[in-house]
């Protein structure tokens, strides 16, 4: 999974600046342990998530966001690039 299929997204990530607020739409894993019919198995299987945070950085595989920043300290959320469907830059009024 190194680089390759993520190159277009990596290029778009270059335009984001430290602490810029983003909304990221990404697909999460869906796991359901109960027995299911074929019809149930073919039902809408994805879990589209939305995360709002402050851009920290990205690398070849991940986008790193923070939700809280205090001076140079921050928390961290890591989202695999391969799961990201859309990134929206948020602006303040």
Q: Look up the domain containing 51 and give its range.
A: 4-89
Using one digit for the tens of pLDDT, what is the confidence trace for 11-51? 677 789 999 999 999 999 988 888 989 998 888 778 999 99
Quickly list H helices, 19-92. 38-41
> Do 66 and 74 touch, CB atoms closer than 8 A?
yes
Q: What residues pair up with 88 in beta bridges, in sequence order? A: 23
Surface-to-core class of residue 62, CB atoms within 10 Å of its CB (0-12 exposed, 13-18 middle, 19+ buried): middle
The CATH number of whichever domain residue 72 belongs to comes to 2.30.30
Domain count for the chain: 1
* Least confidently predicted of 4-13, 35-44, 55-64, 66-75: 4-13
């Amino acid at each position: 999974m190194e680089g390759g299929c993520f190159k277009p997204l990596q290029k778009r990530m270059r335009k984001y600046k430290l602490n810029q607020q983003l909304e990221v739409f990404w697909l999460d894993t869906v796991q359901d342990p109960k027995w299911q019919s074929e019809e149930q198995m073919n039902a809408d299987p994805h879990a589209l998530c939305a995360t709002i945070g402050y851009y920290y950085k990205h690398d070849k595989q991940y986008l790193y966001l923070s939700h809280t920043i205090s001076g140079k300290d921050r928390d961290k959320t890591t989202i695999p690039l391969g799961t990201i469907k859309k990134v929206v830059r948020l602006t303040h009024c």
